[in-house]
Chains A and B, each alone.
Chain A
Amino acid sequence: MTQSVVVQVGQCGNQVGCRFWDLALREHANVNKKGIYDEALSSFFRNVDTRSGGDGPDIYKGKICSLKARALLIDMEEGVVNEILQGPLRDVFDSTQLITDVSGSGNNWAVGHKLYGSQYQENIVEKLRKAAEHCDCLQCFFIIHSMGGGTGSGLGTFVLKLLEDEFPEVYRFVTSVYPSGEDDVITSPYNSVLAMKELNEHADCVLPIENESLFDIVNKIHQMANSGKLGSTVKQNSLVTSSAGSAKTVQEKPFDAMNNILANLLLNLTSSARFEGSLNMDLNEISMNLVPFPRLHYLVSSLTPLYTLADVNVPSRRLDQMFSDAFSRDHQLIQADPKHSLYLACALLVRGNVQVSDLRRNIERLKPSLHFVSWNQEGWKTGLCSVPPVGHSHSLLALANNTCVKPTFIELKDRFMKLYKKKAHLHHYLHVDGMEQSCFSEAISSLSDLIEEYNELDATKGGPRTDPPRLKIAV
């Protein structure tokens, strides 16, 4: 069994991270009734002996004493992290695994990446090493951050580069929240494009997320829960947006519902690695199957179902609906429509009481309406995990390597160019030591190249299928 370490950077990263840890505890509590520290728990938590006060030695077996998250919390201002440390999760975090500063990054990628990067490099490496040492077999780093700000974007991508240098064998999965069009941070296009270059070069897999999509999903759920249809009451703790049953008792923050969706995404992504199933899908398999060319590692994700109705009997029609929903535009976590674009690869991770025949039936059913690239017509990777998420009898996570990410990148590029042409706000960046104009031009060219790669693939869509001639053998 392998372990993963979560590195949460910046305000967004830490808020999402916080929700993740809360829901992870809830999920394990649901499954692990005996309170024994098992391998599933050890993938994200350490079991620490705190009886003698403070940080004791790790306990590898036996009863749970005190669970500590395998996490590193980084923020250049103290507000968010302090709040976490005063909240119900304070004991879950190791006080030595925090890096904070006071003044923040001022929504400036250069400040986050160049200034704080060099300032905190040694500290970060030391703390990462410590986290790695506590792991028996470290498989993956998860970075959670946003692209539009300064810390998450700048310092987050600096940490990404550090991870590649210091731990080249460990996978780097990045969950990035992309800014929406009406983002109130004016320089978010700069920050995002500068960060994209780093993601292009140093990440193994990126899961782009857009706030707009999360917001739409949250609204949809509200409508459903409040519509009060006769005979159908929604199980509260099954909402993909809910914190019910977790440590957090009051849900007042506006972003909490949205962040819970992201937390559930990460839980589902790692479920097969933690729990048993008839067809396991580990994290290294996700990278292997979904990344056909090194730079095309952006995966569009969707989670279904968004909620469960209280009646327990689930006809297979409901199950099939879950599969259909996973491919519909309004379940995607970015503003994209994978059905009308080109699939390079698709992964389906099913949890709960679903068997291989259900999986096959639905793949056969949905395949004709999807466009797959000519050299990967059967580009499906599937996984079956027996343990469902809390409140559900089954669930599905779909990860698609699809050209529908292209519009998001093109928009980003356009917004960047709008500012860049006028050299608006550039001086804030160029002031920072180590930052030059070439950083900008390299970043935009990296993004353009990426868009071009997707364009080339799109051009093959719908074209005539000419299979290459096979090898001829002398008889």
Chain B
Amino acid sequence: MSIVTVQLGQCGNQIGHEVFNAICSDVHDTHGLCSKKENESYRDACKERFFCEEQSEVPVARAVLVDMEPKVISQTLSMAARSGYWKYDDGSHFCQKQGSGNNWANGYSVHGPRHKEVIMNLVQKEAEKCDRLGGFFTIMSMAGGTGSGLGAFVTQCLRDAFPASFLLNHVIWPYGTGEVIVQNYNSVLTLSHLYKSSDALLVHENDVVHKICAQLMNIKQISFRDINQVIAHQLGSVFQPTYTAEGGLHYSRNPLGDLMETLVPHPEFKMLGLRNIPQMPENSLAYSTFSWPGLIKHLRQMLIANAKMEEGIDWQVRPPCLGSSIPSRHSTKKPLHFNTSVANLVILRGKDTHSVDLGSFRDPSLYTSWLNPKDAFHSWKTLRAFNKYEKLASLVSNSQFLLKPLDNVVGKAWNMFASKAYIHQYTKFGIEEEDFLDSFTALEQVISSYTSL
């Protein structure tokens, strides 16, 4: 089954391009570390998922590019074509001239309705090119105007037009110290609207990825391109083909559906976080060896202690003893925050993956009480290595990972809302104070649900 990607706004288009790049370069990689047959199987599954090969020498990405101003899309299209390995469909993009001015209301209430038909036509065309449509993957930022506002509107339209399809939104959480001054307003409006239409929200936080670039990738002068490449690598590690069943004979064909089924058992809990281990610069890969037990141990602790990456993990955090409802606390010097999960998915790629022991992830104390641990944890595997990593483990988690960032954003937005600052910019385009209040209410509900896990 194929996934149609919708890239929205500057961020969405810049990241989307890196994602297709990463996937394509992985497929052409000869370091697959597995048999030729396996490699071919992997490649075919990947191509079916993301590319269309009909009338072109080069695979054509199954994507629709949308932006309200032309500069980024034209850059993205030309960079892809220049690579020689893949490209975008020349007709699959839509842009306007003026941009959305970082104004969610402009993106949602003005650009959305105005351009709905054209955009949905492009999506329909891509959907029809698929033999079997596996769902939609949208990429957007929350802070700006197009990705966030128009993105929320397009998500709604996708839900209305394809009620039975899976819909996964990839959302970029902006830096805490402003990229855009009204980013908290835009974020609150985006999240509350996406929650209604989307199946799940997969989040990447700019601050976290920035730290990964600085500390793990050793990049001195970090550019947005570096950040986007890390994000693309992490996304690739989730979406490239895997075997979802034990002893499965062929690569899973329904990645989005499988993801939803394993991770989103309840519509109130849709926020997914992503962690990778190991993560390092490409030139260090040849000199590093890892053992699976070591990687799994670290990954589990990253989950429990809500660590953003494999450095600086707090090993003091321990799961609560079963039978007591209070999480165990160490001495009163530091309160320990244990990250409770709804559901987890671990994806293993590379050497010896069939023999990895994941029992520690099935520990019931990691999970909330209302799900059977058997249903709360899943793992997908493949012997085929990804992106030159001999061993790679990814964790997609529906847990309290995003509780604190969400609470922060809502708090700051509420603070600003109380002073009524910038509200006139939104009411100008039809988003009133009641709309804000509705969004705040919806998100407080999500915060409350995750807090009480």
Contacts and interface: CB of A to CB of B under 8 A. Distances in A.
Contact of A468 (B75, B178, B418): B418
Interface string A326-339: 00000000000000
Nearest to A296: B421
A378 B177 contact: yes
A279 to B, nearest CB: 7
Contacts of A278: 14, 223-225
B69 A1 contact: yes
Interface residues of A, number: 49
B444 A473 contact: yes
A282 interface: yes
Given A288-B425, A471-B441, A137 B97 contact: yes
B102 A355 contact: no
Nearest to B11: A279
Contacts of B98: 2, 137, 139, 282, 284
A363 B177 contact: yes
B97 A378 contact: no
Nearest to B104: A288
Contact of B424 (A285, A294, A364, A375): A294
Interface stretch (B35-43, B124-132, B358-366, B409-417): B409-417
A376 B181 contact: yes
Contacts of B416: 375-376
Nearest to B410: A470
B101 interface: yes
Contacts of A165: none
B284 interface: no
Given A136-B97, A357-B210, A375-B421, A288 B103 contact: yes
Interface residues of B, number: 53
Contacts of A139: 98
Interface stretch (A176-184, A379-387, A411-419): A379-387
Contacts of B175: 360
Contacts of B448: 473, 475
A467 B408 CA distance: 13
Chain A CB count within 10 A is highest, among B75, B176, B221, for: B221
Nearest to B412: A378
B177 A381 contact: no
Interface string B419-449: 1111011000000000000001100110010
A316 B220 CA distance: 11
A356 B222 contact: yes
B320 interface: no
Contacts of A364: 177
A316 B181 CA distance: 26
B419 A375 contact: yes
A475 B419 CA distance: 27
A13 to B, nearest CB: 26
Nearest to B176: A378
A255 B103 CA distance: 39
23 contacts: A1-B70, A39-B70, A276-B75, A279-B179, A285-B101, A289-B102, A356-B210, A356-B227, A357-B219, A360-B175, A375-B416, A375-B418, A378-B177, A378-B412, A379-B178, A380-B177, A380-B178, A467-B411, A467-B415, A468-B414, A468-B418, A471-B444, A475-B448
